[in-house]
C-alpha cells in the first residue's frame, strides 16, 4: 500500500496554492467577517465606556461649570478623597450587609430550602410554585418597587393592614432589613431554579444509600447533598453576589435613606455623579466597585478550584 502511494506522481509544485490552504484562508476570512460586527458592538458599548470611566476617574470632570468644559487630570485625588469620606465607608458597609443578607443568606438560603423541600413535586403544583416565584423575578424593577412601597406603607400598607392597622413605619424603622427582605423575595427564583437543577443531578441511589445507613436529613445534607452540588452553589453565589452588589432597585424604594441607612454603593455613585454633578468622582467610585466585584469573583473561583 505505502509503496504504491509513493509511486503516485507528486502534484506540480508552485503551480497553485494547495486546495487545503486556500480553504483555510477562506475560513479565516469568513470567521473575521462574522465576528467583526459583534466585536465592534462590544467595543463601542462595553470596552470604550469602561476605559472612559477609568479615564474620568482621574479627572475633576463635572456636569456643570468650568470642569465640564475643560476637565483637568488630577491623578488619584478622587480615590484619596473617597477613602477619606465616612459616607463612602458607610456605603461600603451597607452594601456588604445588603449582599450578605439578601444574596448569600436570603436568596441562596431560601432558594435552596425551597428547591430541597419541593424537589419531589411534579406536575401542576410544581408549575404553580415556579410561576409564583419567577413572577417576582421577571416583573420590571419599577413595578415591584412600587408594589413594595404600597406593601410597606405606614398607614395604608398591605402588611400593616394584615397586622391589624399596626401603623409600623417599616421603611423608616427598619430600612436596611426592608430592602434585604425585598431583594430576597425578588431574587430567590434564580437560586431556587439553579439549586433545583443541581439537586436533579444527584443520583437517587446516593441518598437512598445514606437512608439505609440511617443518616438523618441533616446528615444527608451535610455529608452528601451539599458537597455534591458545591460547584453549582458557588457559581450561583458568584452570580447573585455580583448582581446584588450592583443592584440599584432599592433606590426606587428608599432613595438611599433614611439618613443613608440604605445608601448602597450604586446609590452612592448615582448621588455623587448625577445629583452632585461630580462625574469624575463617581467614575472613580465605579472603578472601586469594579475592583471589589473582581475580588469577589476571584475568591469564588479560588473556592471552586479548591474542589479538585
Q: How far is the CB of 196 from other proteins (least distance, A)?
A: 20
Tell me how many degrees the CA angle 230-134-295 measures, rounded to the nearest 5: 40
What are the Cα distances from residue 132, in Å, to 41, 186, 188?
A: 36, 11, 11
Residue 185: closest CA among 261, 266, 235, 111: 111
Q: How far is the CB of 186 from other proteins (least distance, A)?
A: 33
User: Residue 167 or 208: which CB sits closer to other proteins?
Assistant: 208
**Grid cell at residue 161:** 393592614
Q: How far is the CB of 304 from other proteins (least distance, A)?
A: 14
Beta bridge partners of 59: 73
User: Residue 15 or 212: which CB sits closer to other proteins?
Assistant: 212
User: Residue 37 or 214: which CB sits closer to other proteins?
Assistant: 214
Residues that bind other proteins (CB under 8 A): 203, 205-206, 208-215, 219, 223-224, 227-228, 230
What are the Cα distances from residue 69, in Å, to 62, 63, 66, 76, 278?
A: 9, 9, 5, 21, 13
Q: How far is the CB of 207 from other proteins (least distance, A)?
A: 9
Burial class (CB in 10 A: 0-12, 13-18, 19+), 2: exposed
User: Residue 211 or 302: which CB sits closer to other proteins?
Assistant: 211
Q: How far is the CB of 217 from other proteins (least distance, A)?
A: 12
User: Residue 86 or 214: which CB sits closer to other proteins?
Assistant: 214
Place of cell 470632570: 61
Q: Could you give the 3-state DSSP secondary structure of residue 306?
A: coil
Distance in angstroms (rounded) separating the CA atoms of residues 44 and 280 = 21
Longest CA pairwise span in the chain (Å): 99
Q: How far is the CB of 202 from other proteins (least distance, A)?
A: 10
Neighbours of 272 (CB within 10 A): 24
User: Residue 206 or 302: which CB sits closer to other proteins?
Assistant: 206
Burial class (CB in 10 A: 0-12, 13-18, 19+), 271: buried
Q: How far is the CB of 125 from other proteins (least distance, A)?
A: 14
Burial class (CB in 10 A: 0-12, 13-18, 19+), 278: buried
User: Residue 29 or 222: which CB sits closer to other proteins?
Assistant: 222
Residue 188: what are its φ and ψ, rounded to 5°? -60, -30
User: Residue 36 or 216: which CB sits closer to other proteins?
Assistant: 216
Q: What is the CA radius of gyration of the chain?
A: 28
Amino acid at each position: 500500500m505505502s509503496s504504491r502511494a509513493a509511486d503516485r506522481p507528486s502534484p506540480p509544485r508552485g503551480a497553485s496554492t494547495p486546495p487545503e490552504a486556500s480553504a483555510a484562508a477562506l475560513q479565516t476570512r469568513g470567521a473575521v467577517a462574522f465576528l467583526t460586527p459583534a466585536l465592534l458592538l462590544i467595543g463601542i458599548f462595553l470596552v470604550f465606556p469602561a476605559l472612559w470611566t477609568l479615564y474620568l476617574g482621574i479627572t475633576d470632570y463635572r456636569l456643570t461649570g468650568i470642569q465640564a468644559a475643560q476637565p483637568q487630570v488630577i491623578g488619584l485625588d478622587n480615590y484619596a478623597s473617597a477613602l477619606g469620606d465616612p459616607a463612602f465607608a458607610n456605603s461600603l458597609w451597607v452594601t456588604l450587609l445588603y449582599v450578605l443578607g439578601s444574596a448569600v443568606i436570603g436568596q441562596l438560603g431560601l432558594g435552596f430550602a425551597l428547591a430541597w423541600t419541593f424537589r419531589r413535586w411534579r406536575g401542576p403544583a410544581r408549575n404553580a410554585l415556579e410561576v409564583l416565584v419567577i413572577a417576582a423575578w421577571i416583573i420590571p424593577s419599577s413595578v415591584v418597587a412600587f408594589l413594595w412601597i404600597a406593601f410597606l406603607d405606614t398607614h395604608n400598607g398591605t402588611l400593616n393592614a394584615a397586622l391589624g392597622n399596626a401603623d409600623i413605619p417599616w421603611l423608616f424603622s427598619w430600612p436596611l432589613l426592608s430592602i434585604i427582605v425585598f431583594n430576597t423575595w425578588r431574587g430567590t427564583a434564580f437560586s431556587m431554579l439553579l439549586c433545583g437543577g443541581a439537586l436533579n443531578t444527584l443520583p437517587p441511589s446516593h441518598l437512598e444509600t445514606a437512608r439505609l445507613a440511617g443518616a438523618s436529613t441533616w446528615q444527608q445534607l451535610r455529608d452528601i447533598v451539599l458537597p455534591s452540588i458545591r460547584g453549582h452553589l458557588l457559581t450561583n453565589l458568584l452570580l447573585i453576589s455580583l448582581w446584588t452588589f450592583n443592584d440599584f432597585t432599592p433606590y426606587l424604594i428608599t432613595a438611599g435613606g433614611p439618613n443613608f441607612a440604605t445608601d448602597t454603593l450604586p446609590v452612592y455613585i448615582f448621588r455623587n455623579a448625577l445629583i452632585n454633578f461630580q462625574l469624575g468622582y463617581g467614575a472613580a467610585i465605579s472603578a472601586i466597585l469594579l475592583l471589589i466585584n473582581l475580588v469577589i469573583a476571584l475568591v469564588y473561583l479560588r473556592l471552586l478550584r479548591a474542589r479538585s
